[in-house]
Chain A
């Protein structure tokens, strides 16, 4: 695929993005004039040392934060221009999140956790149930639907987190260190799952990781260093 073709079909466009955090009188420039395109259906790994701005970039792409300058568009929609309310609705429609620490509600069963994003839709209870069953089946956890997070292993919890991320069939799946809290075996299972979602279901995935073993599963890896993207690993 040529660069032009890639640009034309890019699902995610990050253009000239800068992000500055203010700590007292000090300005911390986390991202500087950053550009990134992610085509539809790509599995992209985003690597970099701690504090390089990986999660910040992921938050900007996912509409959890706004850039200090530049623009972020997903599927042609300039999300940094949306109001808070519209941005929340956009996230509900287009983005699935997978977090390092799973971030499940401890008071809800696996199926209720997976159902959460569907509460924001107009689906009936029966339709929600059907979607939840499908999502749990895709991550191989149908038999654990009634279990609370505390009774699940770390790998199982992360699979519930992935089921929650994909239950609305989002345009984009954003994973922040999805294997960061798992042992190698459980981590591999999660990576298999993500790879399957990308290859078999065409999901566009952006995964932040510091683990080369995890990034090797992605189709493309980009590196963040000092607020800039490179195609070469940071020495």
Chain B
């Protein structure tokens, strides 16, 4: 700690250069924060996917529907605990930009297979007794200031009922997520009401979710499910929920690779910028380093001073950048709630970011530090 003033003073030596370097590090870490949030939004669900859940969709495309009668057949397949289904409703509330997911489900089976959705028993009871009832996630309820008892009109881009595409639902419950990664933007309503009211596609559903008895048997059960419907008019493709989400995100591209490639490019640039700053900073004060050595600073202490200086620079930049990203992400998440419901900066990524900032400081400082260490005192003093 007693060297902190010396380290800080050295950073203040060229204020403009330090500020610009710091700014570039801050920007890099803001970018890191945003990309992490985007990655979380697109593929974060993979980590949260239930290991005991399989998704069954139409083999050709998820757009094609499956007969609801498959549910009973699936329940008889060895290894299957039970199954339930959802269908893409594609609704709009007031304005297309107010996009969020709404799906018809079988309430009890749906909540049983998704324990990450927390709904009070009273609200579940209300849902089961209200045919037009719907439950909505906390984020969407907050976003549109909906409360229990409200009637909300939602216009489906796909389904019409009684000649109208606008469906009215009674909000009977507002659910929360078990953890931060749970998506609390969708609205779920009753399938029986949906199937009865819709004018077309009766008896067909979008996809099934199967709960299996033994997660280690997922691959075998998936094969059995697909075999069950082989050579039927609606063949199936069954995969673990994580793979399903991954495949969904892959339609945009290999998100992890794209994010990693951008970050590597950004941090490599920062490496050069900060490395150059540190190299210049050390070169400029060769004489001063000579004085420090003359008065008794050891080579190890000189290396420590230079490394501490570069690490302080990158850690300050990293902390400020990540702090700004943390502050701005929730604001952006509100704007992107429909498109990217899981847009947030995970704590794990913040810690990884801080780790990167320390590593960046070490890598950028190590060469100048070793150069400073190798200085011969007598030579260095001549360069004052």
Q: Mark B280-305, 1 if CB is under 8 A from A, else 0.
A: 00000001101111111111110000
Among A64, A91, A101, A107, contact of B378 (Cβ-Cβ < 8 Å): A64
A-B pairs, 6 with minimum CB distance: A92-B296, A107-B9, A88-B298, A64-B377, A103-B291, A91-B296
Minimum CB–CB distance from A64 to chain B (whole Å) comes to: 4
Does B248 lie at the interface of the complex (its beta carbon under 8 Å from any beta carbon of A)? no
Give the CA-CA distance A112 to B7 in the complex, in Å. 12
Chain A residues with CB under 8 Å of B377's CB are 59, 64-65
Looking at chain A's contact residues, is the secondary structure mostly helix, strand, loop, or mixed?
A: helix
Within 8 A of A (CB), among B367-384: 376-378, 381, 384
Does B331 lie at the interface of the complex (its beta carbon under 8 Å from any beta carbon of A)? no
Q: Mark A102-145, 1 if CB is under 8 A from B, else 0.
A: 01011110001000110110000100000000000000000000
Chain A residues with CB under 8 Å of B290's CB are 103
Give the CA-CA distance A85 to B297 in the complex, in Å. 9
Within 8 A of A (CB), among B5-23: 5-6, 9-10, 12-13
Among A85, A108, A164, contact of B295 (Cβ-Cβ < 8 Å): A164
In the complex, 8 of the A-B residue pairs with CB atoms within 8 angstroms, ordered by the A residue number, are: A85-B298, A90-B296, A91-B296, A92-B297, A103-B288, A106-B13, A108-B6, A116-B292
Could you tell me if A119 and B6 are in contact, using CB atoms closer than 8 angstroms?
yes
Chain A residues with CB under 8 Å of B5's CB are 108, 112
Could you tell me if A101 and B384 are in contact, using CB atoms closer than 8 angstroms?
yes
Give the CA-CA distance A90 to B295 in the complex, in Å. 9
Minimum CB–CB distance from B364 to chain A (whole Å) comes to: 20
Chain A residues with CB under 8 Å of B301's CB are 120
Please count how many residues in chain B sit with their CB below 8 Å of the partner chain's CB atoms: 27
Count, A-B residue pairs, CB within 8 A? 75
Chain B residues with CB under 8 Å of A101's CB are 384
Chain B residues with CB under 8 Å of A97's CB are 291, 294-295
Please count how many residues in chain A sit with their CB below 8 Å of the partner chain's CB atoms: 29
Instruction: For A161, give the chain B residue with the smallest CB separation.
Output: B291
Among B287, B296, B378, contact of A65 (Cβ-Cβ < 8 Å): B378
Instruction: For B2, give the chain A residue with the smallest CB separation.
Output: A119
Give the CA-CA distance A65 to B378 in the complex, in Å. 7
Give the CA-CA distance A85 to B300 in the complex, in Å. 9
Does B3 lie at the interface of the complex (its beta carbon under 8 Å from any beta carbon of A)? yes
Known: A88-B299, A103-B381, A105-B288. A64 touches B9 (CB 8 A): no
Looking at chain B's contact residues, is the secondary structure mostly helix, strand, loop, or mixed?
A: helix
Give the CA-CA distance A59 to B380 in the complex, in Å. 12
Give the CA-CA distance A164 to B291 in the complex, in Å. 11
Minimum CB–CB distance from B195 to chain A (whole Å) comes to: 76
Give the CA-CA distance A86 to B292 in the complex, in Å. 15
Give the CA-CA distance A89 to B6 in the complex, in Å. 19
Known: A85-B300, A105-B9, A107-B12. A116 touches B378 (CB 8 A): no
Could you tell me if A91 and B9 are in contact, using CB atoms closer than 8 angstroms?
no
Could you tell me if B294 and A91 are in contact, using CB atoms closer than 8 angstroms?
yes
Instruction: For B287, give the chain A residue with the smallest CB separation.
Output: A103
Chain A residues with CB under 8 Å of B299's CB are 84-85, 88
Chain A residues with CB under 8 Å of B294's CB are 62, 64, 91, 97
Chain B residues with CB under 8 Å of A125's CB are 2
Within 8 A of A (CB), among B238-279: none
Chain B residues with CB under 8 Å of A43's CB are none
Give the CA-CA distance A107 to B10 in the complex, in Å. 7
Does A93 lie at the interface of the complex (its beta carbon under 8 Å from any beta carbon of B)? yes
Could you tell me if B297 and A120 are in contact, using CB atoms closer than 8 angstroms?
yes
Chain B residues with CB under 8 Å of A89's CB are 296, 298
Does A223 lie at the interface of the complex (its beta carbon under 8 Å from any beta carbon of B)? no
Give the CA-CA distance A103 to B290 in the complex, in Å. 9
Minimum CB–CB distance from B287 to chain A (whole Å) comes to: 7
Give the CA-CA distance A89 to B295 in the complex, in Å. 9
| New A-B contacts (5) at CB < 8 Å, excluding given A65-B377, A92-B295, A119-B3 | A93-B296, A97-B291, A103-B290, A103-B384, A120-B295
Give the CA-CA distance A76 to B254 in the complex, in Å. 71
Could you tell me if B296 and A117 are in contact, using CB atoms closer than 8 angstroms?
yes
Instruction: For A65, give the chain B residue with the smallest CB separation.
Output: B378
Chain B residues with CB under 8 Å of A88's CB are 293, 296-299
Instruction: For A118, give the chain B residue with the smallest CB separation.
Output: B2
Could you tell me if B13 and A107 are in contact, using CB atoms closer than 8 angstroms?
yes
Instruction: For B292, give the chain A residue with the smallest CB separation.
Output: A116
Within 8 A of B (CB), among A160-177: 164
Minimum CB–CB distance from A99 to chain B (whole Å) comes to: 7
Minimum CB–CB distance from A20 to chain B (whole Å) comes to: 14
Chain B residues with CB under 8 Å of A103's CB are 287-288, 290-291, 381, 384
Minimum CB–CB distance from A55 to chain B (whole Å) comes to: 8
